[in-house]
Homo-oligomer: A and B are copies of this chain.
Amino acid sequence: MTAFLGQVGRELRLALRQSADLAMVVLFFALVAALFPFAVGPEPNLLMRLAPGVIWVSALLSVLLSLERLFLADYEDGTLELLVIGPQPLELVVLAKTLAHWLTAALPLVAAAPVVSVLYNLSAEAAGWLMLALALGTPSLSLVGAVGAALALGARRGGVLIPIIVLPLYVPTLIFGVMASEAALAGLSAKPYLLFLGAILLLMLFVAPLAAAAGLRHSME
């Protein structure tokens, strides 16, 4: 158990050290979110309706952008070989890396969501629900992203399948996340959707590390 925590801690330290200062992640998030009004026009109430979708897409994007290189770098510089034959279970390493990634790349977005929602004139309460939905949904994005990144290594020679497998896995999270915020906006109960998000997260917590670890081992051949 202490070995577990120690391992996680070390993975975290490395990931945190490598990852950008949180400010950059937040800035990126705000930039993407601020982009949409240029595209759909400045009508306040239209923007308000778009806000959840926009914020969710921005979150998804920053997860994609930052997770892809997580394993790739280790793969290219040989670190991955050592992790694969390292003393601790690879699933754990994956979990730790993903957790670290979520803390550095996703959590800041959850925190920044209210600021962004000012641009969209969201009510404080709607923003709160949005944050909750993000907090529940983004971990799933990180986990699924980890699987994708790992599989992509094995398929360096161009398996078109990988994204086709991975991206659809994002859809449920995205849709339930958006709908939860939607419901909150419309004054309905967001609970059912949040429950779905939680369920997806539990499932992914179990599946993703196994799948990702398998992908990493496969990439050694």
| A contact set with B: CB distance below 8 Å | 16-20, 22-25, 27-28, 31-32, 35-36, 38-41, 46, 49-50, 52-54, 56-57, 60-62, 64-66, 68-69, 76, 152, 155-164, 167-168, 170-171, 174-175, 178-179, 182
Contact = CB atoms under 8 A, between A and B. Distances in A.
B68 A182 contact: no
A69 B68 contact: yes
A53 B32 CA distance: 9
Given A24-B167, A35-B170, A65-B159, 10 more contacts: A23-B160, A24-B161, A24-B164, A31-B163, A31-B171, A32-B61, A39-B52, A65-B68, A65-B160, A68-B69
Contact of A160 (B25, B46, B162, B182): B25
Contacts of A175: 35, 38
Given A20-B158, A28-B163, A66-B160, A178 B57 contact: no
A158 B31 contact: no
Contacts of A54: 39-40
With a 10 A CB-CB cut-off, give which of A20, A50, A62, A158 has the most chain B CB atoms. A20
A57 B68 CA distance: 19
Q: Give the oligomeric copy count.
A: 2
A117 to B, nearest CB: 14
A36 B24 contact: no
A69 B56 CA distance: 24
Contacts of A20: 152, 155-163
